[in-house]
Amino acid sequence: METLGFLIDGFGVALAPENLIFGLMGAFLGTLIGALPGLGPSNGVAILIPLAFSLGLAPETALIMLTSVYAGAMYGGRISSILLNIPGDEPAMMTCLDGYPMAQKGKAAEALAISAVASFVGSLIATIGLILVAPVLADFALSFGPAEYFALFLVAFATLGGITGKNPMKMVVAACLGLMISTMGIDNTGVQRYTFGVLELYEGVDFILAIVGLFAISELLFFIEEKAGGGKQKMSVNKIDLSWSDIRHIMPSSIRGGILGFIAGVLPGAGASLGSFIGYTLEKKIVGKKGYFGQGDPRGVAAPEAGNNGASSGALVPMLTLGVPGSGTTAVLLALLISLNITPGPLMFTQNADIVWGVIAALLIGNFLLLILNIPMVGIFVKLLSVPPMFLLPIVTMIAFVGIYSISNTTFDLYFMVAFGVGGYILRKLEIPLVPIILGLLLGPEMEKNLRHAMDLSNGEWSILWNSGLAIGLWVFAGLGLILPYIVGPILRRRMKSEPSSVNEGD
Amino acid sequence: MTLNDRIFGVLMIVLAVAYGWGASQLPEPFGGSEGVGPDTFPLLLAVVLSLAGLYMVVQPDPDNAWPWSRTGIELIIAVVVLVLYAMLLQPLGFIFSTILVVGTLCWRMGSAPIRAFVTATIAGVVVFLLFGFALDLSLPLGVLSFMEVG
């Protein structure tokens, strides 16, 4: 049991006092960010990255803090779903279906507690899954050559939109834009590309400011346009009245949801939204007529919550083992790894074993911390929900400025960040996804390097890119990732849409 | 209407051509040409982007409305304020520029002016102190620099 030894070492890293403190802080901040409507996990992690970076934290500490933020935000997302009927992000959508009716019946505290327990179970299952699957996948990935990696990057792009994505061609546009920005600066051969003689561009565009601009600044502009929120009636939270038999009642649903979520998270392109969706639908099928789904059935809260938390830990598997993120937030975490000079991928498991296993152990510990934070302290988060976004978003913007400024101490980067924000706003209006841009920025240099190596190996013969069975398999997979949304997407989206409406009809 | 995607698609094709042309102008690396030069990857991207742009022209999605009129002006104000923030941060110092910028944003987003600027003042001072003392990072003092000790 080699893995077990590594994991024990990992606990040694994660339990170091500094790491524990930053983990706890991350979990708290993450829950807060997740709870506030309008700020999802990717936003939260994006805004906190420059701060973690400028603090000069050790790599494993920074990574532990931000994975805790990620896990915390997935926990927090349910709070506004249950109390306000506003999902903090897409994966939290299914939690509204039974969570809000429970709150309307005066069972808000129970719904919150159930969702915390289910989130815990989902994350725990997925973290155990991660421990079992990741080393195997990393071993397998060691056999990848440059051609396979090139194809793997294409898979990452092609499946990023997910099978529920709308227009895959827009994903291609976004990926190209990101990759194009990544070619700015001095390339491997020492040639300047697209620097226009500007000194600041010689090192290329820093993806952290691109991420913060695209996520945080565009969110502010979007809010100004919509001026929504703030006017919703908030539920009051009663005292928790939850017995062991209640927990036993939801346990099977949580376990099933967690396993489904983990699978959805590991598979490229599926992600947390699908995790919570299949978690909920399967549960409804299994329980059948005996349940009262849509009218506040606790199992309808537990299954999707376990599903989306399972999926978020599952999404770390491809990110850690292949260096290919499966979701927006894991893409942001990947940015952190790269800026800490750690190359994600199979080699990380041998070269930076302490970091990988430290993070995995921290994830386990984080789950317990979050459970402890979330049951007694839920009242604090509920209070914070009443901060109106018109104060919140300007302050978040300020923090984004501070973070970016304190990395480089120049204002040049700030103009760039604002420009990315405006660009992000325009692209979001055109329904062009932002995550592929970031992924392009991140993976561009690696992709070009692998292309170059592959071509060197073959003396300039392009066919090397599809010369092995594995490479062909990956190309086919990438192709499917682009074509499937046209076929399966509309059906799936219609079903996900019809689910909430059928609830209103008392289905 | 399906105009937005068409215009954007055309813009993308223009961008792809300009980008591809830029790649073709890149000098050959020292030591002669290789299988993959500095221009190979950009040229690939230019081809893919122009095809995707063409697709958007031929097969556009329905439009989202652009916020003309008042909301549009609010958005422009917000962007101008953010650019001002970047400009003023060093000369004016963090606290004053934050009060100005965060206050204006809160106010334009619907808060009463006094509450907006009070919130901004608290936020600016708290973050400044937090950064200066707890995190040991210095933010620009600007016009307050006479207060600097040591």
Question: Cβ(A254)–Cβ(A282) under 8 Å?
Answer: no
Smallest CA–CA distance, residue A398 to chain B, in Å, is 7
If you average pLDDT over every residue of chain B, what do you get? 83
Q: Are residues B148 and B94 in the same domain?
A: yes
Contact assignment for A414 to B119 by CB distance below 8 Å = no
Which of A193, A221, A391 lies closest to B78 in CB terms?
A221
- pLDDT range class, residue A505, cuts 50, 70, 90: very low
Q: Are residues B62 and B2 in the same domain?
A: yes
Q: How far apart are CA A400 and CA A397, in angstroms?
A: 5
Most B CBs within 10 A among A220, A221, A224, hence the mutation to make, goes to A224
Which residue's entry shows tokens 């024990």? A8
Q: Are residues B57 and B89 in the same domain?
A: no
- pLDDT range class, residue B1, cuts 50, 70, 90: low
Q: What is the pLDDT of residue A420?
A: 93
If you average pLDDT over every residue of chain A, what do you get? 81
Which of the residue ranges A212-226, A326-340, B26-40 would you say has the lowest mean pLDDT? Answer: B26-40
Q: Are residues B72 and B46 in the same domain?
A: no
Average pLDDT estimate for A253-279: 82
Q: What is the pLDDT of residue B11?
A: 92
Contacts of A406 in chain B (CB under 8 A): 131, 137, 139
Average pLDDT estimate for B11-27: 87
B97/A502: higher pLDDT: B97
Q: Which residue of A has its CA nearest to B109?
A: A390
pLDDT at A503 over 50: no
Q: Are residues B80 and B142 in the same domain?
A: yes
Q: Among A195-209, B2-16, B35-49, which range has the highest average pLDDT?
A: B2-16
Which residue's entry shows tokens 């122009």? B50
Contact assignment for B38 to A187 by CB distance below 8 Å = yes
Q: Which of A103, A60, A55 is nearest to A82 (CA)?
A: A103
Q: Are residues B50 and B27 in the same domain?
A: yes
Average pLDDT estimate for A204-229: 81
Q: Where are the beta strands (DSSP E) in A42-123?
A: none
Which of A402, A411, A456 lies closest to B127 in CB terms?
A402
Q: What is the pLDDT of residue A501?
A: 44
Smallest CA–CA distance, residue B129 to chain A, in Å, is 13
Q: Are residues B88 and B119 in the same domain?
A: yes
Average pLDDT estimate for A14-18: 84
Smallest CA–CA distance, residue B101 to chain A, in Å, is 8
Classify the C-alpha dihedral A252-A254-A255-A257 as positive or negative. positive
Structure token digits, residue A84: 């306000």
- Within 13 Å, how many C-alpha atoms sit on residue A430's CB side? 24
Q: Residue B89 is part of which domain span?
A: 67-150
B77/A86: higher pLDDT: B77
Q: Which of A403, A250, A285, A397 is nearest to A339 (CA)?
A: A403
Q: Which residue of B has its CA nearest to A410?
A: B90
- pLDDT range class, residue B85, cuts 50, 70, 90: very high
Tens digits of residue pLDDT in A117-158: 999 999 999 999 998 888 888 888 888 888 888 888 888 888
pLDDT at A263 over 50: yes
Q: Are residues B89 and B140 in the same domain?
A: yes
Contacts of B41 in chain A (CB under 8 A): 179, 183, 447-448, 451
Question: Cβ(A110)–Cβ(A240) under 8 Å?
Answer: yes
Burial of A477 (0-12, 13-18, 19+ CB in 10 A): middle
Q: What is the pLDDT of residue A73?
A: 85
Question: Cβ(A203)–Cβ(A186) under 8 Å?
Answer: yes
- b/e map B42-57, b = 16+ CB within 10 Å: bbbbbebbbbbbbbbb
Return the HEC string of chain B: CCHHHHHHHHHHHHHHHHHHHHHHCCCCCCCCCCCCCCCHHHHHHHHHHHHHHHHHHHCCCCCCCCCCHHHHHHHHHHHHHHHHHHHHHHHHCHHHHHHHHHHHHHHHCCCCHHHHHHHHHHHHHHHHHHHHHHCCCCCCCHHHHHHCCC
Secondary structure (DSSP) of A308-354: HHHHHHHTHHHHHHHS--SSHHHHHHHHHHHHTT---STTHHHHTHH
Sequence ranges of the domains in chain A: 2-506
Q: Are residues B62 and B96 in the same domain?
A: no
Q: Which of B77, B126, B98, B116 is nearest to A400 (CA)?
A: B98
Average pLDDT estimate for A15-22: 87
| Contact partners, residue A33, CB within 8 Å, separation at least 6 | A39, A40, A41, A43, A44, A69, A72, A73, A76
Average pLDDT estimate for B14-18: 91
Helix axes A435-457, B40-58, angle to 10 degrees: 140
pLDDT at A177 over 90: yes
**pTM across the whole model:** 0.81
pLDDT at A282 over 80: yes
pLDDT at A295 over 60: yes
A13/A490: higher pLDDT: A13
Tens digits of residue pLDDT in A235-248: 666 666 677 888 88
Average pLDDT estimate for A306-323: 87
Task: Give this complex's ipTM.
Answer: 0.88
Q: How far apart are CA A440 and CA A405, in angstroms?
A: 24
Q: Are residues B88 and B123 in the same domain?
A: yes
**How far apart are the two ends of chain A, measured CA to CA in Å?**
50
pLDDT at A504 over 50: no
Q: Are residues B77 and B149 in the same domain?
A: yes
When divided into structural domains, chain B yields a total of 2
- pLDDT range class, residue B82, cuts 50, 70, 90: very high
Contacts of B30 in chain A (CB under 8 A): 189-190
- pLDDT range class, residue A423, cuts 50, 70, 90: very high
Q: Are residues B74 and B54 in the same domain?
A: no
